[in-house]
Each structure stands twice: as structure tokens, then as C-alpha cells.
Amino acid sequence: MNPVFCAVDTPDLAGAEKLIDSLQGHVGGIKLGLEFFMAHGMAGYSVIAIKGLPIFLDVKLHDIPNTVAGAVASLLPLRPAFMTIHASGGAAMMRAAAEAAAKAGAERPKLLAVTVLTSLDGGDLADVGQDADTLRQVVRLAKLAQASGMDGCICSPEEIPALRAALGKDFILMVPGIRPDWAAANDQKRAMTPRQACDAGATYLVIGRPITKAQDPAQAAQRIESELA
């Protein structure tokens, strides 16, 4: 299976549709985030879902357990393949989310934990009373997520080795911060190529601009596909 989820970070529904049509057969799925979902909601989601690619709905839920469980239940009819939950919301919140998702049976979305946002450095973590050693905090939250019923977590490429060692081979690692060596780095500072990330132990890759901003997105996706083959 193609491990690439293309990040469609746009509030432009028609543009997203056109892009996804061109990527059919060349990516494993589509990541829709808050920018898209806030603009278009369930109706817009359904326009994309009908195209048949698995969808990673990156909503980063974080609230009291009852509310997060309710939010997961409300999203189940959309049948996303993956959804995100903030691990810092705690064990009870993640367990409540997992129980809510389980109600969809075999069709249940896989739940991925967000550990430490890569926009935060050690100083930011200290400011909110967390361990300023970011990798230690990432591993700690990922272990808590695994023990609380999450199927995997989002992580940066450089976190893959520590997380694979701590969590075993079956825990899903969904990895953004990926740049083919022919693509612009943009604002990604410590990117790996698709091949490097997969070799390091990534389960899935999230790739946005190297595909979406390419002159020919389908060709860019195909090139990544062939580099991973």
C-alpha cells in the first residue's frame, strides 16, 4: 500500500476536489485538517470522501473525556480512516475517545495521538509546566497514548527511532516533515526524504506542499511513489 497521505491544507473546496481527482492512484490517502474542516464541515468532507481515498481527519481533539467521546461519536458517520486526539488531554480522555470509536466496530477510525507540537521548543514546554526535554516528553506522551487505547501517534522524522524502540513495531507512526530531495524545504527544518523516513520506521507519511504546490501534482506524487517502490 502507498503510505503517503497528501495534506490538503486549503479552504478552497473546488481546488481541493480538482487536486484530489488528479492524485487518484498515486497517493494512499488524503489528510484534511482544521483549515478545511472549519470552512466546509461535514458537507465539504463528504464531497472529498466520495472520491474513495482513505481520509485522515486531523481535528486534534482536546477537551474533557465526555465531550471528546461525543465529538468522536459525531464524526463516526464520516468513516474517516484516522483521527487525531491530543495526548496531553490525559489517559481518561483518550480512553473515552477509544471507547466511542469502538462503537463503529470494524469500520472504526484509527486514533492517533498528538504528542508535542513541533512548533514548541523546550522553553515553551517549560512555560506550560511540561518536561523541557522535548524528546522525553514526546516518548512519555506516546507511551501514555499507547496504554490508553490509541492506535498510533503523529511524530516528526527525528522522533521515529526513539518511538519505535519505546512502542514496538505495531504502533502506527504517521510522520509529517517529509521532503523529497528535489522539493523545497519551505518551513520544515529537519525533514527526511520519504525513503529515509520509511527506512527509519514510519508507517505512513504526511506530505503536503511538495505535491500540492508542484507544477504537476500528479507527477510529483508519482515520483514519490516510485522512490518508495
Burial label, 71 (beta-carbon count in 10 A; 0-12, 13-18, 19+)? middle
Please check whether residue 8 is in contact with residue 36, taking contact to mean a CB–CB distance below 8 angstroms: yes
**DSSP assignments along 147-182, one per residue:** HTT--EEE--GGGHHHHHHHH-SSSEEEE--B--TT
Stretch that binds ligand C5P, among 65-73, 105-113, 206-214, 216-224 (CB under 6 A): 206-214
Q: Which of 48, 100, 206, 220 binds ligand C5P (CB under 6 A)?
A: 206
Residue 178's nearest CA partner among 2, 1, 7 is 7
115 binds ligand C5P (CB under 6 A): no
Output the CA torsion sign for 192, 195, 196, 201: positive
Q: Which of 112, 138, 202, 207 binds ligand C5P (CB under 6 A)?
A: 207
Give the nearest distance from C-beta 41 to ligand C5P in angstroms: 18
Give the nearest distance from C-beta 79 to ligand C5P in angstroms: 21
Catalytic residue list contains 103: no
Footprint of ligand C5P on residues 150-169 (CB under 6 A)?
154, 156
Q: Which of 3, 28, 29, 33 binds ligand C5P (CB under 6 A)?
A: 33
Cα–Cα dist 54/81, whole Å: 6
Q: Which residues are catalytic?
A: 60
Q: Which residues bind ligand C5P (CB under 6 A)?
A: 7, 9, 33, 118, 154, 156, 176-177, 186, 188, 206-209
